[in-house]
Every structure is written in structure tokens, then in C-alpha cells.
């Protein structure tokens, strides 16, 4: 093999390595947050507004209970579009998000919950 071909092959290896790093290594170089998504599902029991994070903190009952954050700037809402008590919800949640409330002259954290990525609901209410 000529020196030129060897150099070209090595050049190809470097480019391949560089692209691989961009594709998979970037996740390490700029670690962000957790990406595990899990199910939420149950009756919506309480909803309170987070004035600085512009989300609603929802207490959801079993079987997949917990405190979840419905944030209209992030959460995709599906039929029947009602997040308020006593509608049932089934959706997916993501990382923990604090509920930021106004407390002049600051925003303070007022608990928080798991950020809903998507959720669908029953009609709820009667």
C-alpha cells in the first residue's frame, strides 16, 4: 500500500472518530439531565398554580400516583383535555421540576413534581 493510501485511510479513521464523538460523545461532554420517562396515571386530586414557573402542580392519586407538573409551555395535552380534579389522567412524566412561586422580591420553591411530557384525561367532573 502506498504512503498516500495509508494517509488517506488514516484521515478517514480520524473523520469517522470525530463524527462518532459528535454523535454519541456529545451526550457526555454536555451532560444535561436525566431522560428516564415513566408512567403517571390516576385521579387528579388537587391543582395549584406556580406563578413563576407557569405550571400547575397536580396531586394525582393511584395507581401511578405522585405530584406532577402540567406546564402548558411543555406538556402536550390530549383528549379530553381536563387536568382539574376529578378527571382521570394517564400520561408520561420526566425529570423533577420545582414549583416556583412569587414571594417578593424573589421566586421561592414551593415543592415541585415530575414534569409531564404528555397526558390525556377523562372528561372529569359531573
Partner 1 sequence: MTPAIKKVLESKYFYSLVIFAFLFFAVSFLVNVVASVGTTCHTITTPDATPSTFGSPLNFFSGANELLISVTCDGSNATHIEVGSGAPTQYIYMYGYRKVNGKWTRTTFTGSTVTGTWIVGKGGVTVEGVQDGETGQILAYICQNIQNTWKCGCSDNACPTPKWQLQEYRLPAGTVGTGATPNGDGELDVHYPSKYLGLPGETVTLIGSGFETGSVSSILWNGEIQESGVSSETGAALIITIPNLPPGKYEVKVKEGNVVSKYGVGIWIGTGDNSPVPTITSITPESGLQGGTFTVHGTGFTKKNNDAITTFGVLSGLPSEDGKSITFTYDPFDEKLVSYNENAERSEYALPVNVTIMNTSGQSNMKIFNLNI
Measured from the CB of residue 118, what is the shortest distance to partner 1 in angstroms? 13
Measured from the CB of residue 9, what is the shortest distance to partner 1 in angstroms? 9
Measured from the CB of residue 91, what is the shortest distance to partner 1 in angstroms? 9
Tell me if 100 sits within 8 A of 110, measured CB to CB: yes
106 binds partner 1 (CB under 8 A): yes
Cα separation of 107 and 100, whole Å? 6
Tell me if 52 sits within 8 A of 98, measured CB to CB: no
Closest CA to 50 of 125, 105, 5, 103: 103
Closest CA to 52 of 114, 94, 110: 110
- Binders of partner 1 in range 71-100 (CB under 8 A): 72, 77, 79-84, 86, 88, 90, 93, 95-96, 98, 100
Angle, CA 61 vertex, CA 56 and CA 63 arms, to 5°: 130
Q: Which parts of this chain interact with partner 1 (CB under 8 A)?
A: 3, 6-7, 10-11, 13-14, 17, 20-21, 24-25, 27-29, 31-36, 38-41, 43, 47, 49, 51-54, 62-66, 72, 77, 79-84, 86, 88, 90, 93, 95-96, 98, 100, 102-112, 114, 122-126
Amino acid at each position: 500500500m502506498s504512503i498516500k493510501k495509508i494517509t488517506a485511510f488514516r484521515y478517514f479513521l480520524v473523520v469517522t472518530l470525530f463524527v462518532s464523538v459528535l454523535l454519541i460523545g456529545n451526550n457526555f461532554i454536555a451532560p444535561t439531565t436525566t431522560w428516564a420517562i415513566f408512567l403517571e396515571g390516576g385521579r387528579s386530586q388537587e391543582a395549584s398554580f406556580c406563578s413563576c414557573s407557569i405550571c400547575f402542580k397536580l396531586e394525582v392519586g393511584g395507581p401511578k400516583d405522585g405530584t406532577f407538573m402540567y406546564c402548558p409551555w411543555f406538556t402536550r395535552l390530549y383528549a379530553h383535555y381536563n387536568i382539574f380534579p376529578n378527571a382521570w389522567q394517564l400520561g408520561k412524566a420526566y425529570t423533577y421540576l420545582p414549583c416556583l412561586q412569587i414571594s417578593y422580591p424573589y421566586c421561592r420553591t414551593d415543592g415541585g413534581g415530575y414534569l409531564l411530557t404528555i397526558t390525556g384525561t377523562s372528561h372529569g367532573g359531573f
